[in-house]
Amino acid sequence: MKPSLAKGTRDFTSLEVSRRKYIINILQKNFELFGFQPLETPSFENLSTLTGKYGEEGDRLIFKILNSSINEAKDEKKVQMQNDFQKALEKPFSSENLTDKALRYDLTVPFARFVAMNHGKLTFPYKRYQIQPVWRADRPQKGRFREFYQCDADVVGSESLWQEVDLVQLYLKSFAELNVSVTIHINNRKILSGLAEYAGITDKLIDFTVALDKLDKIGKDGVVKELLERSISQESIDKLDFLFTQSNDALENLLLLKEKFAGNEIGLKGVEELEFVLTQSVNLGIDIQNLVFDITLARGLDYYTGAIFEVKADEAQMGSIGGGGRYDNLTEVFGVKNVPGIGISFGLDRIYLVMEELNLFPEDATSNVEYLFANFGGEETLEALKLIVQLREKGISAELYPESAKINKQFTYAEKKGIKNLVFLGEEEIKNKTVTYKNLEAGEQKTVSLEEFLS
């Protein structure tokens, strides 16, 4: 059988793992600096937990797991279940018949489920971060995979807009430390609801936002075509035409909205909230050039209720490398009311691709072995291992070439593996209590005392 990978998945080499770990370490450090605590949830959830939370298109991308209850049943029941299963296969596909679990689509809904199950034990506001893989049955392409990592930070139990301001700071601090220049695009779900009310399409809010969210992919004509296909009238579309000719001045755009939202309570509330986040972020020293009010930013997820964020790299052609927003009603579907929340996510895989394209990884982002000890066999091997033990106790990486082979072969191994130094501990070195090593990058060879080597 010819080995192959499932579409949309990848293997990671040691270099890639080290670089991914470099990104994760910076994010994790900043999450904890901002007061977030770690959490992990299972890789799969009950299907009912996930469906209906991501909108029409999102639900289609959920990876469903074939029902395993047949294998768990006793013999007599198993036969009956197998017969029922076969009948189900002969009918049009029904997830109710074949599946009851699914791989998690994101980290936010499982987090909301966790909060709902444990709300009596948690201290609110509760701040958690989570770094785990998620799965989507999407069409693989550059920067889009079926298995990928999300790095989330969420706060639940607070309606304060200062949380939005804090998350803007978390985004910019983290990307600054990764040396990735970014712009944060911001909108507010209440503004989108206000626009739907203004255009007389309140009953088509989800259809409107799903289509609008595709503007950067399919352009104005594509969005208009999709709105018409979703039974939104040309008259309503004409009223929304100003959305496609926004200026670069956020305040000017907000003033225009205030005029159009006269008497529109929810729309004006969205403008007020957005003004607060932008103003206070600037008051804290954030450059307004890093923040863009993007009125067409919709992020077609059903659960956002307020602020919406999307982060884009300034110097690379890539989709969003981060996103999030406020979701004040998500735990209600699990029977727990009045637990407002807001969260953001860092797209690890896309951040990696941007940093790779722009050559932003520092040399120390890789975890190469510091010393390879040449194997001369006999007593020298044992003495080399004794010295390796001492280096490891000091936290210095070292290994012994496993066989007594020709020195050229050992050199080649060290060079291909990216090991920095090749150490020679032969009969003379043992006798004189010295160590000879060659720096393979500089090509310099030194002999030093054993004490100096270990210092």
Binding residues for L-histidine: 106-108, 136, 150, 154, 299, 303-304
Q: What is the largest CA-CA distance in the chain?
A: 93
Q: Within 10 Å of residue 229's Cβ, how many Cβ atoms?
A: 10
Query: Which residues participate in the annotated binding site?
Result: 106-108, 136, 150, 154, 299, 303-304
Check: CB of residue 323 under 8 Å from CB of residue 311: yes
Check: CB of residue 65 under 8 Å from CB of residue 103: yes
3-class DSSP state of 155: strand
- Give the whole-angstrom CA distance, residue 242 versus residue 196: 13
- Give the whole-angstrom CA distance, residue 294 versus residue 325: 14
Name the token pair of 431: 């006798």
DSSP codes of every residue in 322-377? EEEEE-TTGGGGGT--S--EEEEEEEHHHHHHHHHHTT---GGGS---SEEE----
- Give the whole-angstrom CA distance, residue 371 versus residue 396: 8
The partner residues of 37 in beta bridges, in order of sequence, read 128
- Give the whole-angstrom CA distance, residue 51 versus residue 58: 9
Name the token pair of 262: 């006269």
- Give the whole-angstrom CA distance, residue 292 versus residue 184: 6
Check: CB of residue 41 under 8 Å from CB of residue 117: no
